[in-house]
Amino acid sequence: MLAQQKRPATSLATEDCAEIDRWIARYPADQKQSAVMAALRIVQDSNGGWLTTELMDAIADYLEIPPVAVYEVATFYSMYEHKPVGKHKVCVCTNISCQLRGSDEIVDHFKQKLGVGLGETTPDNQFTLKEVECLGACAGAPVIQIGRQYHEHLTPEKIDEILATLATS
C-alpha cells in the first residue's frame, strides 16, 4: 500500500490567520469556504502580491477544504497572481466599454512609457502591466486599477501624471 502523500507544510502568518478568522466569522460555522476569496487576497497581499501553490494549500488546510477548491478560485479571477509582480500592478481594462473608449491607446501608452508588454514587469520591479476584464466601472471608461485605486476617463496625459506620482511614492 502506498503511503499517503503529504503536502508541503507551509503555515500562514499569525496576523493573516487573525484577519481570515474575521471573515470566517461572517458566515455560518459550516461555511468556512465562503472566506476563500478574502483569504486569497489577505495571503497574497502579505506575500508581496502573489500566491504560491504552498500558500494556496495552506489556505485550503486552514479553511478545511480541498486544495482544488482554492486553485479554482485563484486561477479564475484575474486579481490573483501566480508569479511575482512589481510594486505597482497596473490593470488595464480592455473589455467592450473601455475598448470603445480607447483602451488600445491606453495600453499602447503604458507599453511605451514602461517599456514592457502586457503580463510583464519592469526590470526595476516597480510596475507590472496587466490586461483585465471589466472592472465594473464602465461609465468611467477607459478605466485602470492600480492597487486598490481606480482611475477613470483616462488619457495619455493622465497616465503620465499617474506614473509621475507613483514614481515618487
Q: Which residues in this chain contact ligand FES in the complex, by CB under 6 A?
A: 93, 95-98, 134-135, 137-138, 141, 143
Minimum CB–partner distance for residue 79 and ligand FES (Å) = 14
Nearer to ligand FES, 32 or 101 (CB): 101
Going from the C-alpha of 161 to that of each of 89, 151, 166, the distances in angstroms are 16, 11, 9
Minimum CB–partner distance for residue 141 and ligand FES (Å) = 5
Secondary structure (DSSP) of 64-81:
TS-HHHHHHHHHHSTT--
Secondary structure (DSSP) of 16-38:
HHHHHHHHHTTS-TT-GGGGHHH
> 97 exposed, middle or buried (CB, 10 Å; 0-12, 13-18, 19+)?
middle
Nearer to ligand FES, 49 or 142 (CB): 142
Minimum CB–partner distance for residue 92 and ligand FES (Å) = 9
Nearer to ligand FES, 84 or 136 (CB): 136
Nearer to ligand FES, 69 or 137 (CB): 137
Cβ atoms of 98 and 137 within 8 Å: the answer is: no
C-alpha to C-alpha distance for 169 and 164, rounded to whole angstroms: 9
Cβ atoms of 136 and 149 within 8 Å: the answer is: no
Minimum CB–partner distance for residue 63 and ligand FES (Å) = 30
Minimum CB–partner distance for residue 130 and ligand FES (Å) = 14
Nearer to ligand FES, 34 or 155 (CB): 155
C-alpha to C-alpha distance for 48 and 55, rounded to whole angstroms: 12
